[in-house]
Amino acid sequence: MLKGGRRADSLAAIPACLFPLSFKDPGSAPEGQQKLKNGVFYSREGTGMNNGLFQRFCSLIESFSEKAGKLASYLIFVMMAFTATEVISRYVFNYPTMWVWPLNRQLFGVFILFAGVYAMLKKEHIRIEIIYDLLPRKMKLIARIIGLLAFTSFIGVLIWQASWMGMNSFRMSEKAAGAFRIPLWPLKILIPLIAVIFLLQGVVSFLRQDPD
């Protein structure tokens, strides 16, 4: 095992965002360095990949996921208002609308897309860790890598198929069936775009996580 300066030099080339930082004693860290959870120091002025640029990229993805997720959460109030309008119009005035339910389905689709990314950012997706918690640290890392590979495979197929579907929908100017023919292609084009953000956020979350 490398110790002291040799270990710090070896860790200097690793992107900083691979480590969740914990500052138990910030004053004790040497200038230009930061302290890991286990007490080891590493330099942000590493060789190879530009750590600062990589950190900014990770922060940019997380910032977008959080802001977009919070903004999309307000769609709930819009859907509630539309639903209340439909109920009042139908049961009070006996004049049902043709546009509420098709439009609400589109809005709910947008809400679900951004909610998935936001839940990934906040680590709120359901996880069953009965066996995972019993594994040693190295096995936890292997399990996380397997999970990441499964995640990227699924999202990769989703991006591929959704892109094909979205382009076809755009070319045909696809619209909903029924009296209120709302365009469907904007949502179908949005699916692969948000799936890319989902993929990036999943990778960033993997890099940020420290297996205990």
Q: Which burial class, exposed, middle or buried, applies to 205 when counting CB atoms under 10 A from its CB (0-12, 13-18, 19+)?
A: buried
End-to-end CA distance of the chain: 20
Domain boundaries, the chain: 4-43, 59-208
DSSP 97: -
In this structure, the number of other CB atoms found within 10 A of the CB of residue 63 comes to 12
pLDDT tens for the chain, 212 residues: list them.
444 444 444 444 444 444 444 333 444 444 444 444 444 333 344 434 457 888 888 899 999 999 999 999 999 999 999 999 999 999 988 888 888 998 999 999 999 999 999 999 988 888 777 888 888 888 888 888 998 999 999 999 999 999 999 999 999 988 888 778 888 898 899 999 999 999 999 999 888 776 56
